Amino acid sequence: MQWEYLREDADMDRNSTYKIDLPENGYLSAIQFRISATGKSGAFAETLNWRISDFIDKIEIVGNGSTIIKSITGNVLQALQAFDTGITTLDYWQSYGAGTKRFNVMLLFGRHMFDMIYGLDLARWDSVELRITNSATSDHMDTDFAVSTLCYYWRGDFAGFTNYFKTEEWRKWTTVRNETKYLELPTENKIRRIVIQAYPNVDDNNVEKTNIFSIAQDIELSLKTGVLR
């Protein structure tokens, strides 16, 4: 395994999309992101969004201009790292003052770090682009973001990857009271994992009015139009 910087401390403007092409060749196992910025003093005393991950609306890996390889939010990426590695992110979080905020997380293309079966073979694509979209403004951050991307490759005597894991935000909606939401899952690929994220409404003090068990009281998966559950 070899790791090297794709970019170190590159500038990402607030409320923008940062784009960069990945190398043309290489067996890419993972990308580590290190993103930092200086928070605006007093901006996070009464708000739900106060971590850098809250402002990362989308991290995307796009092949050949339009094929989605990865497309997830910063918060979801943090959760996936915990699920896949058993390690929570070591971010430095502050909800007050003007200290430096940090977002340090790993994006995997296989089942785990150092997976020798699944990963992204860059040579199979004409182009692969990384896109990071953030919604932070000068009301939240006193500085633009510094972005470092560290790529992890398999080198040497390596047979290559069988394939990679695609990860995307598939559906997003606002719940309605006493509603049953029916979703027909895509069938073109095998599904490894379904992650459900729910944000309850909050009161004037940003205290949640309910919990995920009220929003998603019963989650049911069925096959063959409900014959098998």
Structural domains of the chain, with CATH: 2-170 (2.70.9.20)
The answer to whether 96 and 89 are in contact (CB under 8 A) is no
* Model pLDDT for residues 8-23, shown as the tens digit of each residue: 999 999 999 999 999 9
The answer to whether 112 and 49 are in contact (CB under 8 A) is no
The answer to whether 154 and 120 are in contact (CB under 8 A) is no
Give the whole-angstrom CA distance, residue 100 versus residue 141.
10
At 96 the pLDDT is 61
Instruction: Kindly tell me if the per-residue pLDDT of 193 is higher than 90.
Output: yes
Q: Which residue has the higher pLDDT, 90 or 73?
A: 73
Percent of the chain at pLDDT > 90 equals 65
At 95 the pLDDT is 60
| Amino acid in position 222 | S
Give the whole-angstrom CA distance, residue 128 versus residue 141.
30
* Model pLDDT for residues 101-145, shown as the tens digit of each residue: 999 999 999 999 889 999 999 999 999 999 999 999 999 999 999
Residue pointed to by tokens 């990071």: 132
Report the pLDDT averaged over residues 166-188: 89
Comparing C-alpha atoms, which of 45, 40, 42, 32 is closest to residue 14? 40
Report the pLDDT averaged over residues 71-92: 90
Instruction: Look at 58-72, 147-161, 169-183 and tell me which has the smallest mean pLDDT.
Output: 169-183
Report the pLDDT averaged over residues 97-101: 80
What are the backbone dihedrals phi and psi of residue 85, each rounded to the nearest 5 degrees, phi first?
-115, -15
Residue pointed to by tokens 């200086």: 38
- The residues that bridge with 4 in the sheet, in sequence order, are 151
